[in-house]
A and B are shown apart, each in its own frame.
Chain A
Amino acid sequence: MNGNRVDLGLIIGGPQGGGIESAGQITVRTLMSKGYDVYGTREYHSNITGAHSYFNLRARSDIARSVKLPVDFLIALDAESVFTHINDVKKKGFFVYDSGTSSTKIDKIAPMPKPLKVRVKEKLSKLGLGDTVADAVRYIENKDVKVVGVPIRELLKETAKRSGLSVVSVARVANTIGLAAAFALIGIEREHIEKAITLYFAGKEKAIKPNIVAVETTYDYIKDNFKLGNPLPNGPYQGKLRMVINGNDVVAMGKIAGGLTLQTYYPITPAADEALYLESYRTVEPTDEAKEKLGLDKVGTLVIQTEDEISAIGMAIGAALAGARVATTTSGPGFSLMNEMVSMAVIMEVPLVVTIWQRAGPSTGMATRNGQQDLLISLFSGHGDTPKIVLSSGDHVEAFYDSIRALNWAEKFQTPVIHLVDKMLSGSLKSIDPPDPTKIKIERGKFLREVDGKYNRFTITEDGISPRAPLGVAKQMISSLVHNEYGMVTEDPLLRNQMTEKMLKKIESIEKEISESERYSVYGDPDSDILLISWGTNKGPILDAIEKLAGDGIKVKFFQIRTFKPFPAKALTEAMDSSKVIIGVESNILEQMRMITRMNILRDIPHMIVKYTGRTMYEQEIYFGVKEILEKGSRKVVVSDGA
């Protein structure tokens, strides 16, 4: 904290299925009520209940867009969280834990991964410590961190007494006690957490009262036994109407706002939550203007859960042929199954959006962890020559508008559009101003609602794009085989050439009509000769790192690739040619972005910062990575922070 500028990092850890999601959601709302901008990542195992899960959240009075390590305070809701995050709080920070767990031995924690136990025990034994939570607490205290043991059981009993309920019936507020203790210590007034609880549990009135009593009980406990923190300065967002969303939500919102009428999916992590959010808004209230002018009383979006991903993409294609504005959502393994139909959508010239929530592969890999490993399969998906559009979103706000853009491009160019979003975006929470869909015009390209006389679906045109009437509006033939302008199958060599060249013209139209400015963004110092190139959710940590580097007098320019097809060839060539030190940042081991850059503009990215632990990039990893490259000229820096 620097003057009035607030920059708080915190971790809340606990068992999966033990209310950790609610704890995170309440925390975000508390910090928003205090007037801060908030960003938080969620790490969890592929597990329903019991395994370690945590939020890493950051609240800033200006803009929060990455998380940091070590954090300013940490709330360990169980013993495993104490051991797992033993090094994650910075000097003078707070480490809040349940003092009832003090005697728990590390080996008694069944869900905790063995390699992590070995690493933690090594650290403890180096200081001559044993293997209980109490030992871990001494280890943490040794690092000049203020450790606060909160007797959660006793405070639960007190909460029960004060609210006139049984201890069993208030057991669920244990997490709130942990949160409240931490907020009391760092100087967040009680009213904010109370407001957050009221907002989060709206409609579940029974849950509100015990939670609020728990907050009061905990604040009293901290006041009597420690000291309430001096109130932090309020942030500038107080009183503003904002939203708190995760990436899954915001993509669903973008699709609904962007005129999607049908989406298909087969359940897969982390895409399913997007489809579920969409389905919960399958009928929504249109604007008054739409009601009046179009006579619509409700806007309906059909979401269909299919038998597999092949059917998901197949149904979406069928629906598009019948005039629906469609998308399907999946992640890497599901997209592998969809490949034959990406190819079919290309030859049938079907407008189709495939949202890919990238997770850590290969194969099933780590289903709930982050990765940027699906760039190559997206660009090269589908057999045969298969032009498509591939875009990638860097943050929540971009993901909203990109979801609309993807639907527009699909209909405009009548070909598949692949929208890459990172797992890290899917579960990350972010406070945003309500997005404004009128910023992007909804386009349907050469869509026809009426046709007179004979109709050729695949008419050869100057721009390679034919007027498109849906089934039902005009009799037509749609074929996965090479066909003539009507759609009738042909194996004539010259006709085949003509129709294939039609596709080439379409690629040229994509290159011509998607402007350079939509393909990339540039941040940082435009005159710097140090260039960072990256894509996806590395954007937030990079922006924070370059701010930090600027504080050290190191000026950096950041080039974010936003579309890989069409590629920002001209702008990236110029940026690379005018830079002395060029560093790529991405979350895969093959350096896929580097490969694609070389392929498109024959230029190499000589230095790379890569991560493939399955966790998010952190500000400090990029900060130290850039420094290392500047000092030692390292070819590749592999980073691996985060539990």
Chain B
Amino acid sequence: MVRNWIEYRTDAWVQWCPGCGNYGILTAIYKAFAELDLDPKETVVVSGIGCSSRIPYYINVSGVHTLHGRPIPVATGIKLANPRLNVVVHSGDGDLLGIGMAHFVALGRRNVDLTVILHDNAVYGLTKGQAGPTLPAWLRTKALRAPNYQDAVEPVLIALASGYTFIARSYAYHAEKLKEIIKEAIEHKGSSLVQVLQPCPTYNNIMTPKWYEERIYYINEKYPEYDPIVKVPGERDKKIAEILDKFYKDSDKIPLGILLKDISKDTFEDRIEKIIPGYLKNPPGLRYTDLDGKSLIRPKDVFKDRIVKA
């Protein structure tokens, strides 16, 4: 460890409720960033709106606090303009899987090299406890006026179907194990999803630590032979079939750990380099736009298909 994790703390008051799962995630982030020795100047945490999206104020790196549902497009723009930056998205289940679902799917299709940490507590905390997109049907958490009569979405399956190349699930109260997964996600080249199951002590009175701890298990403990790595493109579908077969049979249990690590696909940045040679050397955020205020091109020399010698 080169940096002390304390260096990543800020002096802002952390405004989450006592016992909130976000504390565990924040601690895991501090330690993961420290162990990876991430330069605060070259690391950007991008968030949406909600309790978890306050996190950029608490991490001493660059932060961008965007709009509800929109951290992924903004983070993608940042990364594509300057691929040298480390970009990590933090947001909640309502943000990423409700209002922002189109962007969540699109990121998987692109495989941009950034990490998404999904803070999943199945409720909308800041608006006082409405059902989140991951709240199972017919549960009635305490702020609901009626049982939740919409079905839940399954982010891991959506991520598998969308093309994410690193997919993991973890639990907020297991900060040490979470830290290891986050480190691996950040080091992975491509779009990574870490779904973090997170009790909300204020509004989710059903999915409590006890509720989770009765259901979770670690893949590498129960299935030590399971290998999440996909090395060649054709293997991915087989791996998805294996995941469904192994981990989705027993609906009462929740597998934790790395479900998939696909190293067979190009990142979006590498794909851009193929269509714009030189992109990685002179990306849009770094390249010159002019020469002392003068345009770098002359239209009559460039747009030859529109020239007419009358």
Instruction: Tell me the A residues contacting B by CB distance below 8 Å.
Output: 29, 32-33, 35, 199, 237-245, 249, 253, 256-262, 264, 281-287, 289-290, 293-294, 296-302, 304, 306-308, 310-326, 340-341, 344, 404, 431, 434-438, 441-444, 470-481, 487-489
Contacts of A199 in B (CB 8 A): 308
Contact of A289 among B62, B72, B73, B291 (CB under 8 A): B291
A-B contact pairs, 7 of them (CB 8 A): A243-B308, A261-B287, A300-B276, A300-B287, A318-B75, A320-B77, A434-B299
Apart from A244-B308, A249-B306, A282-B276, 18 more pairs, CB < 8 Å:
A243-B300, A281-B302, A294-B288, A296-B288, A301-B284, A307-B106, A314-B76, A315-B76, A323-B286, A326-B77, A341-B70, A404-B295, A437-B295, A441-B293, A477-B57, A477-B65, A478-B62, A488-B12
User: Given A33-B308, A315-B80, A475-B41 in contact, is the A302-B297 Cβ separation under 8 Å?
Assistant: no
Give the contacts of B37-72 with A (CB-CB under 8 A): 40-42, 44, 46, 54, 56-57, 60-67, 70, 72
CB pair A294 B291 closer than 8 Å: yes
Q: A290-B296, A316-B77, A472-B42 are in contact. Are A481 and B285 (CB under 8 A)?
A: no
Residues of chain B within 8 A (CB-CB) of A281 are 302-303
Collect the chain A residues with CB atoms within 8 Å of residue B105's CB. 307
Determine the chain B residues whose CB is within 8 A of the CB of A323 once the complex forms. Answer: 81-82, 284-286
In angstroms, Cα B47 to Cα A344, docked, is 13
Whole-angstrom distance between the alpha carbons of A406 and B66 in the complex?
Answer: 24
**Contact residues in B for A290 (Cβ distance below 8 Å):** 288, 291, 296-297
Contacts of A241 in B (CB 8 A): 300, 307-310
Choose from B79, B277, B278, B290 the contact partner of A259 (Cβ within 8 Å).
B290
Q: A339–B67 Cα gap in the complex (Å)?
A: 12
Residue of A nearest to B306 (CB): A243
Q: Which 5 A-B pairs have the closest CB atoms?
A: A318-B77, A314-B73, A259-B289, A323-B285, A442-B290
How many Å lie between the Cα of A8 and that of B57 in the bound state? 66
B67 surroundings in chain A (CB, below 8 A): 340-341, 344, 480
Q: Which residue of B lies closest to A199 (CB)?
A: B308
Taking the complex as formed, is B78 at the interface, i.e. its CB lies under 8 A from any CB of chain A?
A: yes
Docked-complex contact A243 and B299, CB < 8 angstroms: yes
- With CB as the reference atom, state the residue of chain A lying closest to B61: A475
Most chain A C-beta atoms within 10 Å of own C-beta, residue among B57, B64, B79: B64
- From A322, A325, A434, A478, B65 is in contact (CB under 8 Å) with A478
Given known contacts A35-B310, A479-B65, is B77 in contact with A314 (CB within 8 Å)?
Answer: yes
Instruction: Report yes or no: B306 in contact with A477, Cβ–Cβ below 8 A.
Output: no
Q: Which residues of B are found within 8 Å of A244, using beta-carbon distances? A: 306, 308
A444 touches B289 (CB 8 A): yes
B6, CB-defined interface residue at 8 Å: no
Indicate which residue in B44, B54, B77, B301 contacts A319 across the interface (CB closer than 8 Å): B77
- CB neighbours of B40 from chain A (8 A): 475
A249-B303, A322-B85 as given contacts; A302 in contact with B284, CB under 8 Å? yes
